[in-house]
C-alpha cells in the first residue's frame, strides 16, 4: 500500500519534529536517532526544570508544577493554546526561541530537562544530548512512543503519568489522563472505516504522496477519531503513497497539517484542493478538508484531544 519514506519506526517520540522548523539551533540530524532515555531514579522531585518545548511546559503547568519550570525552548508549541493556559505559557521564560541550544539549556542551571520527543536531545544541531546532561548532573526524560502501529494516545498518557510519578504527584497524572480520555469519549463515535489522508503539503506530481504512516501519533489520533488512515499499513512514522494507491483508497477526509511550511491554513487547503492528484477524491470533491496544527497532531501533548475532536467531526460528516 505504499512504501516508507523515512525510517523512524520503533524509536518513538519522533512525531512532530519536522514541524519544529529550524531556527536558533539549526537543522535536524536524521542519521542518528538517539535512544529513549530510561525513566530516571531521582532522590527528590526536580526543582528547576527546563522544557525543550512549550508543549511539555503546558503538561507540567497542568499538573500543578508550573513553578518548577525555569525556562523553555520551542515556544511555538504554545500557539495552539488559548485562555488561562496561554497566559501561563506566556509567563514562562524563553531560553531559546529555537530548538534548545545546549549552552542556553545549561545556563538555566536546571536539575531536570524534559520534552515531548527524544529527537530534541541531540538530533537538532546544537541541542544537548542525554550524555551531556548527565555529565552535568541533570536528570532527563522525554516522551517515547510505542513500537509498531499506533492506535491511540498511549505515548501521551505514558509521558504524563511518568512525569507525574517523577514529581511525586501520581494522582494528578492519573486524573489528567482520565480527563483527556473523557474528552475523547465525548467527542467521538465508533470507528467507521472512513478513509483519511494526512497532508502537510499538496503532493507534487511524480514524487508520490507524502503522509503519516501507521507508526505515527497521527495514525493513533485518526483511529481514535473513528477514521482509517489510508497509510496505516506502512510500518513507519512517515510514508510515501503512489498516486494510484491514493486514488484506489479514495480518502473521504483530508487532514491538512498546518505549521510545517510558510503557507497559511487557507493557502494549504487551496493547494490541496487544486492538486490534480487529489481532484478525484471524495475529500476534495466534497470539500472535507480539516486543518489541524502540527503541534497538536504530530507531538504528544494536552491538545491531542482537540486534534481527535476536529478530525472526528469531519469523519462523522463524511459517513
Query: pLDDT (tens digit, 9 = 90+) per residue, 251-273?
Result: 999 999 999 999 999 999 999 99
Dihedrals phi, psi of 17, to nearest 5 degrees = -65, -40
| Distance (Å) of CA 155 to CA 13, 158, 193, 249, 301 | 8, 5, 23, 28, 9
Q: Which single residue is written with the C-alpha cell 522544557? A: 51
**Model pLDDT, residue 33:** 58
pLDDT band at 202 (very low <50, low <70, confident <90, very high): very high
Helix axes 217-224, 154-166, angle to 10 degrees: 110
**pTM across the whole model:** 0.90
**Model pLDDT, residue 206:** 72
Q: How far apart are CA 182 and CA 184, in angstroms?
A: 5
Query: Worst-scoring range by mean pLDDT, 23-32, 135-144, 169-178, 286-295?
Result: 23-32
**Model pLDDT, residue 3:** 32
**Model pLDDT, residue 12:** 37
What nine digits make up the cell of 18? 519536522
What nine digits make up the cell of 226? 473513528
Whether the pLDDT of residue 8 is over 90: the answer is no
Which residues are within 8 A (CB) of 139 and not within 5 positions of it... i.e. 6 or more apart?
A: 40, 42, 46, 111, 112, 113, 133, 166
Helix axes 217-224, 304-318, angle to 10 degrees: 50
**Model pLDDT, residue 113:** 98
Q: Are strands 289-293 and 238-241 parallel, antiparallel or unpaired?
A: unpaired
Beta bridge partners of 49: 69, 112
Question: Domains, the chain, ranges and CATH?
Answer: 11-185 (3.40.50.1980), 188-318 (3.40.50.1980)
pLDDT band at 6 (very low <50, low <70, confident <90, very high): very low
Averaged over 42-70, what is the pLDDT?
Answer: 98
**Model pLDDT, residue 277:** 93
For 212-276, give the DSSP string.
E-TTSHHHHHHHHTTEEETTTTS-SSEEEE-HHHHHHH--SEEEEEESSSS--HHHHHHHHHT-T
pLDDT tens digits, one per residue of 238-247 = 999 999 999 9
pLDDT tens digits, one per residue of 100-133 = 999 999 999 999 999 999 999 998 889 999 999 9
pLDDT band at 27 (very low <50, low <70, confident <90, very high): low
Amino acid at each position: 500500500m505504499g512504501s516508507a519514506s523515512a525510517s523512524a519506526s520503533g524509536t518513538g517520540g519522533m512525531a512532530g519534529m519536522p514541524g519544529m522548523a529550524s531556527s536558533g539551533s539549526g537543522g535536524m540530524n536524521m542519521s542518528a536517532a538517539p535512544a529513549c532515555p530510561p525513566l530516571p531514579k531521582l532522590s527528590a522531585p526536580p526543582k528547576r526544570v527546563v522544557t525543550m518545548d512549550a508543549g511539555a511546559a503546558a503538561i507540567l503547568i497542568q499538573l500543578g508544577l508550573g513553578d518548577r519550570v525555569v525556562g523553555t525552548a520551542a515556544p511555538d508549541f504554545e500557539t495552539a493554546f488559548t485562555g488561562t493556559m496561554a497566559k501561563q505559557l506566556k509567563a514562562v521564560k524563553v531560553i531559546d526561541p529555537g530548538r534548545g541550544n545546549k549552552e542556553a539549556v545549561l545556563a538555566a542551571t536546571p536539575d531536570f530537562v524534559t520534552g515531548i520527543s527524544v529527537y530534541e536531545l541531540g538530533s537538532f544541531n546544537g541541542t544537548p544530548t542525554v550524555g551531556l546532561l548527565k555529565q552535568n548532573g541533570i536528570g532527563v526524560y522525554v516522551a517515547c512512543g510505542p513500537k509498531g502501529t499506533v492506535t491511540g494516545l498511549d505515548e501521551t498518557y505514558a509521558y504524563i503519568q511518568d512525569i507525574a510519578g517523577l514529581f511525586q504527584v501520581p494522582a494528578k497524572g492519573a486524573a489528567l489522563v482520565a480527563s483527556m480520555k473523557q474528552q475523547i469519549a465525548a467527542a467521538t463515535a465508533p470507528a467507521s472505516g472512513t478513509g483519511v489522508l494526512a497532508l502537510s503539503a499538496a503532493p507534487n506530481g511524480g514524487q508520490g504522496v507524502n503522509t503519516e504512516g501507521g507508526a505515527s501519533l497521527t495514525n493513533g489520533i485518526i483511529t481514535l477519531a473513528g477514521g482509517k488512515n489510508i497509510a496505516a499499513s506502512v510500518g513507519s512514522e512517515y510514508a510515501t503513497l503512489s498516486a494510484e494507491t491514493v486514488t484506489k483508497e479514495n480518502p473521504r477526509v483530508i487532514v491538512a497539517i498546518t505549521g510545517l511550511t510558510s503557507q497559511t491554513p487557507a493557502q494549504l487547503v487551496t493547494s490541496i484542493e487544486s492538486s490534480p492528484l487529489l481532484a478525484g477524491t471524495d475529500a476534495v470533491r466534497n470539500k472535507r478538508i480539516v486543518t489541524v496544527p502540527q503541534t497538536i497532531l504530530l507531538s504528544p501533548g494536552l491538545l491531542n484531544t482537540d486534534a481527535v475532536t476536529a478530525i472526528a467531526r469531519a469523519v462523522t460528516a463524511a459517513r
